[in-house]
Structures are given as structure tokens and as C-alpha cells.
A and B are shown apart, each in its own frame.
Chain A
Amino acid sequence: MSTVDDRADTEGHAEPADRPAPAVDERIDRLVRRVLTVGLSLSAILLCAGFVTWAARGGDMPATVPGPLSAARSLAALDPIGFFSYGLLVLILTPFVRVAGSIVIFLREHDWRFAAVTGLVLVSMGAGLLVGSL
């Protein structure tokens, strides 16, 4: 465990020697908060837009979501299914972005151990996708 940063100890508490540097943890937590806030807000806006356009246009809603490309065309045409699809896709992708962002921060901080942990998480997510789509 690295004690990279002493200036982080601003709260006046005595830190045990191998406590992870709070500055890094603070940055990670801020990243988590930001990624999640942006991802969820965007997803909520898209889903609401889906309901609004659906209410305005009426018509049948398909029982399944189209693939990302077809959904993008629907989105460009302001079709409600496009908004719903992208609202769900953004929600699903948010944890992937959160994990990828943590890798970058740990790498920058030379925290190799946790860069490896989060890197493996992303790899296993990718492997899960591969296995699941077989």
C-alpha cells in the first residue's frame, strides 16, 4: 500500500502507516460520483424524452429494443423507441465507464495493485460479454 501523499492528511487524524493515500481515494470517489451523476441524468432525460415523444405521437411501441445503430436512426428521427433504447444503453454503459475511469486514475497515481484489480474487472466484464453473446 502506498503512502503517496501527506498533504491529504488535513483532517488532523493520525493515519496508520499503510493507510491508502486519502488524496487518491478522494479522487476516485469524485470520479465515481461524477460518472454516475452524468450517466444517470443523461439516461433519465432520454427516458423522459421517450415518454414525452410517445405521448405526443402515439402509436405502438415495439416489444423489444433495436440494436444501437438502428436505435440511432430512430433517435435522429425523434422516434420514442430511439430515446428509450439510448436511455437504457447509457444506463448499461455507465458502470463500464466508471470502471474504465478508475483504471486511468490508479495508473496515473502509480497504484499498480489497484490498476490491476480494476483492469481485471474490466477484462472480466468484456469476457462476460463474449461468453454471454455466444
Chain B
Amino acid sequence: MIVTMILVFLTAIVAGAFGGMLGVGGGMVLIPVVTLFLGVPMKVAIGASIVSVIATSSAAQIVYVRRGLTNTRLGMVLELATSLGAILGGLTAVLLEARVLQGLFGALLLWTAWGMHRGRHADGAHEATGLLPQRYLDESTGQTVEYGVHRLPLGMGLSFIAGNVSGLLGVGGGSVKVPVTNLLMNVPLKAAIATSNFAIGVTAATSAAIYYGKGFMDPRVAAPTALGILIGAQIGPRVGARLRSHVLRIVFTLLLLAFAVQMFVGAAR
């Protein structure tokens, strides 16, 4: 047990670093590793993963807010849309077969990865619209970036759907929010990552409270996960801030592809 716990802790550091750097929860690193290699049951792994999303979001956010990368107001609007979607997802979960949904979500992730790849030329081309404007210093270039949000209603609608899907599958909040914010709402990638990171904590907190209440949380897995994430998620954003946006974009696109494969494997099982 003690060895497993140490390995869970180390896995969580890596998951937290990746999740924190990319604005996603890190469950897609944590869940497969602990279930496939460490023999942790799926239900326990999901409970720990939800805790890991809160820890990732909160720990990384301390770094992002301090650096002024988070568009807090946009984050609040997005978390409203997402949490409303998540409630609906939780209500309709019984109506749809998980495998069908995983297949569809996998296809959506592939399409999103293509969009992220094509969107690479847009790095740096941001204009001030006056809507939820924000300004930050990009550490990798030393330049101050100023932007405003485009297409807010469309972004909210898609965040609602993202919340809906993550309510149904228990995954995928950030992997949809980052591309939507970056590609459609024209928010620079680094700010999109920080803002998505801000917003994913809220829905996770709700799910985690439910999981806790139902007794689906194993302290032998959840406790080392939480501690590991708290460390990793402070490292990730610091690394991410120094990377050029196009490097971050490539890493994020690869993450989407890996996530799509996971969804397809789940659907084919």
C-alpha cells in the first residue's frame, strides 16, 4: 500500500504540472496511470481525479492570478455557463449511452485539435474589442499583450455544452474551454489557459462534494493525489509562462489527440 501511495503521489505531481500548464484538470494523465499500472479501481480513481481538478485549478490559479494572466471576469462568465451545463449533464446522464458519447466527444476532440493546429498563425494577432478587456505581460517575449473578448454568447453556449459533456462523462471541461476561448473568443492562448484553469475548479468542487457525500472517496488514493497535485500545479504554470505560445499550442494539440484516442478506446471497449 505504501509503495502504491508513493507512486500515486509522484504521478499526481506530473499530472498537476501538465494540467496546470495547459489549463486542464490532469485527470487524463492520472486516471489511466493509476488504474492501468497501479491497480486502483476506476471509481476510486475518478474520485481522486475530481479532487485533483480542484487542486490543479486552485494551485495553478495562485500563480496565474499573480502574473495577471487570468481574465477573471471572463472566467466567472464561463464557469456560470459550464456549471449550468454540468447540472443538465448530470440530469440527462441516464438518457445517453456513455460509449456513444465517448465516441462523439473523441470526434469533437479531433476536430478541435485540427482547429488548434490551424489557429497557430493567429498567435499575437489580438485586438481590443472593449469587451471584458485584459492586459498581461508575456514572459517569453517580454511584450505586453492587450485584447478584448469576441463572440461572448457563442463562447458561453459552447461552455454550456462543454459543462454538459463533462457532467455526462466526468471529464473534458478544460480541453474544450481552452480551444473555445482561444479560437472563437480570440483570447491569446496563455490567457485562455489561465482562464480555463480558473473556471474548471467550480464544477469540480460541486462533483467532489457529491462524491465525498456518497462515500466514493478513498483517502489512501485521494490524499496522496491532492498533495502531489498541489506541488505539480505550482510548477506547471511557471514552465508554461516561459514557453512561447506556439510551443504551448503544439503541446496542447498533442494533448487533445491523446485525449481523443482515450475516448475512442473507451468507446470501443
A114 to B71, CA, bound (A): 14
Say what secondary structure dominates the interface of chain B. helix
* Min distance, Cβ B60 to any Cβ of chain A, angstroms: 10
Q: Which of B86, B204, B209, B217 has the most CB of A within 10 A?
A: B209
Contact with B along A62-96 (1 / 0, CB 8 A): 11110100000000000001001101110111111
Residues from chain B with Cβ under 8 Å of A47 in the complex: 223, 226-227
Residues from chain A with Cβ under 8 Å of B244 in the complex: none
Q: Is the CB of A84 within 8 A of B223?
A: yes
* Min distance, Cβ B114 to any Cβ of chain A, angstroms: 32
A118 to B252, CA, bound (A): 29
Q: Which of A32, A37, A43, A96 has the most CB of B within 10 A?
A: A32
Q: Is the CB of A50 within 8 A of B205?
A: no
Contact residues, B56-82 vs A (CB, 8 A): 57-59, 61-62, 65-66, 68, 70, 72-73, 76-77, 79-80
Contact with B along A116-131 (1 / 0, CB 8 A): 0110110011011101
Contact residues, A38-71 vs B (CB, 8 A): 39-40, 43-44, 47-48, 50-51, 61-65, 67
A13 to B70, CA, bound (A): 19
> Is the CB of B263 closer than 8 A to any CB of chain A?
no
Residues from chain B with Cβ under 8 Å of A102 in the complex: 76
Residues from chain B with Cβ under 8 Å of A124 in the complex: 80, 83-84, 87
Residues from chain B with Cβ under 8 Å of A84 in the complex: 219, 222-223
> Is the CB of B251 closer than 8 A to any CB of chain A?
no
A91 to B12, CA, bound (A): 15
Contact of A94 with B65 at beta-carbon distance under 8 Å, contacts A28-B72, A102-B76 already known: no
Q: Is the CB of A121 within 8 A of B80?
A: yes
Residues from chain A with Cβ under 8 Å of B61 in the complex: 32, 36
Contact of A132 with B205 at beta-carbon distance under 8 Å, contacts A16-B128, A40-B58, A85-B219 already known: no
Contact residues, B175-231 vs A (CB, 8 A): 198, 201-210, 212-220, 222-223, 226-227, 230
15 pairs of residues in contact across A and B, judged by CB atoms under 8 Å? A16-B128, A33-B62, A50-B223, A61-B220, A63-B220, A65-B219, A81-B219, A84-B223, A85-B219, A95-B57, A98-B201, A124-B84, A128-B83, A129-B206, A129-B210
Nearest first, the 5 A-B pairs at minimum CB distance are: A132-B210, A95-B205, A128-B206, A84-B219, A124-B83
